[in-house]
Amino acid sequence: MLKILIPTDGSSHAERAVNQVLELVKSGAALEIILLNVQIPIASGHARMFLSHGEVEAYHQEEGSVALAKARELLDANGVSYTHHIVVGHAGETIVRFARENNVDKIVMGTHGRSALLEVLLGSVAHDVLKNSPVPVLLVK
């Protein structure tokens, strides 16, 4: 069974990555699918002065759940089993570390993220993953 990691941020590119994996499932491939959302750490000392650790964690979980919603909906609608994780870190390195730690066979991800403003940064996430991944990476445009 091939273990596939799909990092998702809720963008249309991430949705297309999920659809690409669904095509593999429909072709009969035996897959173990893992959805991953990486939340950016709240680094501001000022924000942390007013928020408890629990509040920050709840915020990350809520935002991650929103980002995972469409991917989960697509997989659920097709009766495909999966696991999902929300982690906090810098996206590219966190995705690569997660892939290593979980013995993933392949990463399937979108080339860009949610907003035009972040396209350059999130495009660099795909580049970082491609450059540092210990496993093959399929980038979906």
pLDDT in tens, 31-56: 999 999 999 998 656 666 677 878 88
**DSSP string computed for 23-53:** HHHHTT--EEEEEEEEEPP---HHHHHHS-H
Q: What global pTM score does this model have?
A: 0.89
Q: Strand 31-39 and strand 2-7: pairing?
A: parallel
- pLDDT (mean) for 12-35: 96
The domains of the chain are located at: 2-140
Q: How far is CA 64 from CA 57, 87, 94, 114, 137, in A?
A: 10, 8, 14, 13, 22
* Cα→Cα distances 124→57, 59, 72, 75, 93, Å: 26, 25, 25, 27, 11
Is the pLDDT at 140 greater than 50? The verdict is: yes
Of the options 3.40.50.300, 3.40.50.620, 3.60.20.10, 1.20.1050.10, the CATH number for the domain spanning 2-140: 3.40.50.620
CB 138, CB 37: distance < 8 Å: no
Q: Per the structure block, which two tokens stand in for 24?
A: 């593999």
